[in-house]
Chain A
Amino acid sequence: MFKTLDSAVPVACWSCSIGHNDSTLFCPHCSKIQPPPGGDYFSVFGLKPRLELDLSALEQEFHRLSRKLHPDRFARALVNEKEWSLADTALLNDAYRTLKDPLRRTEYLLKLEGAEIGEEHSGKDRVDPSRVPADLLEEVFDLNMQLEEMRMARKIGDEDSALEASLAEAKEKFSGLLKAVDEDLRAEWRAWDEGNELARQASQKRMVALLDRRHYLSNLVRDVTETLGA
Chain B
Amino acid sequence: MAEGRVVGIDLGTTNSLVAYMQGDTPVVIPGVDGSNLVPSVVALDPIAAAGGRPTVTVGNSARKALIETPERVIYSVKRLMGRGLGEIQEELKLFPFHLADDIEEGEVPRIRLGELKFTPPEISAYVLRQLKRNAERFFGEPVTQAVITVPAYFNDAQRQATKDAGRMAGLDVLRLVNEPTAAALAYGLDHAKVGTIAVYDLGGGTFDVSILKLRDGIFEVQSTNGDTHLGGDDIDNLLLAIALDEIHAEHGVDLRGNPGAVQVLRKAAIEAKISLSTESAAHFDMELPNGDRYQREIPRAVFEMLIEPVLERTAGPCKQALKDAGLTPEQIDEVVLVGGSTRIPAVRQLVDDLFHLKARGKKPQIELNPDEVVALGAAVQADILAGASKTTEEMLLLDVTPLSLGIEALGGAVARIIQRNSTIPASATEHFTTGVDGQTNVAIHVVQGERELAADCRSLARFDLKGIPPMSAGLPRIEVKFLIDADGILQVRAREQRSGLAAEIEVKATYGLTDEQVESMILDSFDHAEEDFAKRLLIEARNEAETILAAVDRAPESPAWRQLSPEEQAAIHAARGRLAAIKQGEDAAAIRNATLALDQATRRFAELMMEAAVSTAIRGKTMDAAGNDMGDDVTAPHAMAPAEFK
Distance between Cα atoms of A80 and B379 in the complex (Å): 26
Please name the 4 residue pairs, one residue from A and one from B, whose CB atoms are nearest each other, closest first: A75-B385, A90-B425, A90-B427, A123-B413
**Are B387 and A97 in contact, with the CB atoms below 8 A?**
no
Q: Which residues of A contact B396 (CB under 8 A)?
A: 66-67, 70, 72-73
B486 touches A76 (CB 8 A): no
B386, B417, B422, B479: which contacts A93 (Cβ < 8 A)? B422
Q: CB < 8 Å: which of B216, B381, B427 contacts A94? A: B427
Assembly CA distance A72 to B424 (angstroms): 12
In the complex, A10→B531 CA distance in Å? 48
Q: A90 near B483 (CB under 8 angstroms)?
A: yes
User: Which residue in B485, B497, B502 is a CB contact (below 8 Å) of A71?
Assistant: B485
Contacts of B175 in A (CB 8 A): 71-72, 75
Q: Does B574 contact A (CB under 8 A)?
A: no
| A121 contacts chain B at the CB level, 8 A cutoff | yes
Minimum C-beta distance from B324 to chain A (A):
13
Q: Which chain B residues lie closer than 8 Å to A93 at the CB level?
A: 422-426
Q: Distance in Å from the Cβ of A65 to the closest Cβ of chain B? A: 11
- Decide yes or no: A2 and B385 within 8 Å by CB, A90-B425, A93-B424 being known contacts: no
List, in ascending order, chain B residues with CB within 8 A of A1's CB: 493, 495, 502
**Residues 402-415 of chain B: 1 if any A CB is under 8 Å from the residue's CB, otherwise 0?**
00000001000111
B499 to chain A, nearest CB (A): 14
Q: Does A130 contact B (CB under 8 A)?
A: no
B425 in contact with A86 (CB, 8 Å): yes
Q: When chains A and B are docked, how far (Å) is the Cα of A86 from the Cα of B426?
A: 9
The answer to the question of B397 belonging to the interface, with a C-beta cut-off of 8 Å to chain A, is yes
By secondary structure, the B interface counts as strand
Q: Is the CB of B423 within 8 A of A97?
A: yes
A77-107 vs B, Cβ < 8 Å mask (1 yes, 0 no): 0000000001101110110110000000000
A2→B478 CA distance, assembly (Å)? 12
B398 touches A66 (CB 8 A): yes
Across the interface, name the chain B residue whose C-beta is closest to A67.
B396
Q: Which residues of B contact A122 (CB under 8 A)?
A: 409, 413, 415
On chain A, the residues within 8 Å of B397 by CB distance are 72
**Cβ contacts under 8 Å, B629 to chain A:** none
Closest Cβ–Cβ distance, residue A7 to chain B (whole Å): 13
Q: 11 other contacts beyond A76-B385, A87-B427, with CB at 8 A cut-off?
A: A2-B479, A72-B385, A75-B385, A76-B3, A87-B425, A90-B426, A90-B483, A96-B423, A123-B413, A123-B415, A124-B452
Q: Supply 6 A–B pairs (Cβ within 8 Å), ascending by A.
A: A1-B495, A71-B485, A93-B426, A121-B416, A123-B415, A123-B452
List, in ascending order, chain B residues with CB within 8 A of A89's CB.
425, 486
Which of A63, A72, A123 has the most B CB atoms < 10 Å from its CB? A72
* CB-based contact B218/A63 at 8 Å: yes
Please list the residues of chain B having a beta carbon within 8 angstroms of any beta carbon in chain A: 3, 6, 174-175, 215-216, 218, 220, 381, 384-387, 396-398, 409, 413-417, 422-428, 452, 479, 481, 483-486, 493, 495, 497, 502
Q: With CB as the reference atom, state the residue of chain B lying closest to A1.
A: B493
Report the separation of the CA atoms of residues A96 and B218 in the bound assembly, to the nearest whole angstrom.
Answer: 15
Contacts of A97 in B (CB 8 A): 422-423, 426
The answer to whether B486 touches A86 (Cβ under 8 A) is yes
Judged by DSSP, the binding face of A is helix
Complex Cα–Cα for A194 and B411 (A): 45
Contact with B386, one of A63, A70, A75, A90 (Cβ below 8 angstroms): A75
Q: Among B398, B417, B479, B485, which residue has the most Cβ atoms of chain A within 10 A?
A: B398
Question: How close is B410's CB to chain A, nearest CB, in angstroms?
Answer: 10
| Closest residue on chain A to residue B423 by CB atoms | A93
Question: Complex formed: what's the CA distance from A89 to B6 in Å?
Answer: 23
B485 partner residues in chain A, CB cutoff 8 A: 71, 86
Report chain A residues within 8 Å CB of B422: 93, 97
Q: With a CB–CB cut-off of 8 A, which chain A residues contact B6? A: 75
Looking at B218, B414, B485, B497, the one whose CB has the most chain A CB atoms below 10 A away is B218
Chain A proximity of B489: nearest CB distance (Å): 11
Check B486–A2 contact: CB distance below 8 A.
Answer: no
Q: How far is the CB of A55 from chain B (nearest CB, A)?
A: 13
| Of A63, A76, A91, the contact of B387 (CB 8 Å cutoff) | A76
> With A63-B218, A93-B426 given, is the CB distance from A72 to B413 under 8 Å?
no
**Alpha-carbon distance A96/B220, docked complex (angstroms):** 13
Q: In the bound complex, do residue B409 and residue A123 qualify as a contact, i.e. CB atoms below 8 Å apart?
A: yes
Q: Which of A2, A63, A76 contacts B493 (CB 8 A)?
A: A2
Contact B416 A2 (CB under 8 A): no
Distance between B411 CB and nearest chain A CB, rounded to angstroms = 9
Closest-CB distance, B214 to chain A (whole angstroms):
12
- A91 to B495 Cα, complex, angstroms: 18
By a CB distance below 8 angstroms, the chain A residues around B387 are 73, 75-76
Alpha-carbon distance A121/B6, docked complex (angstroms): 41
Nearest chain A CB to B541 CB, angstrom units:
32
Determine the distance from Cα of A199 to Cα of B485 in the docked complex, in whole angstroms: 41
B184 → A minimal CB distance (Å): 15
Closest chain A residue, CB of each to CB of B425: A90
User: How far, in angstroms, from A45 to B139 measured CA to CA in the complex?
Assistant: 44
- Interface members, chain A 42-71 (any B CB < 8 Å): 63, 66-67, 70-71
**A76, A91, A96: which has the most chain B beta carbons within 10 Å?**
A76
Residues of B contacting A90 in the complex (Cβ-Cβ under 8 angstroms): 425-427, 483-484
Complexed CA–CA distance, A1 and B426 (Å) = 18
Contacts of B409 in A (CB 8 A): 122-123
How far is it, in angstroms, between the C-alpha of A87 and the C-alpha of B486 when the chains are bound?
A: 11
Q: Are A2 and B424 in contact (CB under 8 A)?
A: no
Nearest CB in chain A to that of B412: its residue? A123
Q: Please, which residues of chain B bring their CB within 8 A of the CB of A4?
A: 497
Residue of A at shortest CB range from B424? A93
CB distance from B188 to the nearest CB of A (A): 15
Q: Which residue of A lies closest to B215 (CB)?
A: A63
B429 CB to nearest A CB, Å: 8
Which residue of chain A is the closest to B417 with respect to CB atoms?
A121
Min CB gap B597→A, angstroms: 40
Interface centre among A66, A97, A121, A122 (most CB of B within 10 A): A121
CA distance A162 to B576 in the complex (A): 85
CB contact under 8 A between A2 and B423, given known A75-B386, A123-B452: no
* B contact residues around A73 at 8 Å (CB): 387, 396
Chain B positions within 8 Å of A87 at CB level = 425, 427, 483
Cβ of B316 to closest chain A Cβ, rounded Å: 14
Contacts of A75 on B, CB cut-off 8 Å? 6, 174-175, 385-387
Return the contact of B384 from the options A2, A72, A121, A123 (Cβ within 8 A).
Answer: A72
Write the nearest CB–CB distance from B446 to chain A, whole angstroms: 14
Docked-complex contact A71 and B413, CB < 8 angstroms: no
A230 CB, nearest partner CB in chain B, Å? 16
Q: How far is the CA of A96 from the CA of B425 in the complex (A)?
A: 12
Q: How far, in Å, is B53 (CB) from chain A's closest CB? A: 36
Residues of A within 8 A of B385 (CB): 72, 75-76
Which residues of chain A are near B216, meaning CB under 8 Å?
Answer: 63
Taking the closest CB of chain B, its distance from the CB of A94, in whole angstroms, is: 6
Q: Quote the shortest CB–CB distance from A86 to chain B (angstroms).
A: 5
Q: Report the minimal beta-carbon distance from B145 to chain A, rounded to whole angstroms.
A: 9
- In angstroms, how far is the closest chain A Cβ from the Cβ of B212? 14
Give the Cβ gap from A99 to chain B, nearest Cβ, in Å: 13
